[in-house]
Amino acid sequence: MDDYKSNNFVEKIMVQAKDLELSCLIIDLSGVPSIDTMMTNELFQVVTMLELLGIDTTITGIRPEIALTAVQLGIDFSKIRTYGKLKDAVSDLLHIR
């Protein structure tokens, strides 16, 4: 994900989440080899914004490079549910609901 692909990233997610009346959202990063610091920051801001709308957000497939960038940016993971694999998040979500 680069600046070109992230164009209006936040706006698109927020509008679609509202239109679809989501109660939860899983963002899977397993196919993303790396993202820059700006996009990493934007991604975690989206999680915070979705939380304000009452949408429980889970992030899966965080690669070491992305984790390193997020920690260097000082992103607080204490309120963010993460899983190594998408299937684990889906499995837990189905058991919770």
User: Where do the structural domains in the chain lie, given as residue ranges?
Assistant: 31-96
pLDDT at 1: 53
Residue 42 scores a pLDDT above 90: no
d(CA 59, CA 25): 9
What is the assigned CATH class of domain 31-96? alpha beta
Q: Which two tokens stand for residue 5?
A: 């692909």
pLDDT at 35: 79
User: What predicted TM-score, i.e. pTM, was given to this entire model?
Assistant: 0.81
Residue 3 scores a pLDDT above 60: no
- Stated length of the chain: 97
Mean pLDDT value of segment 60-71: 87
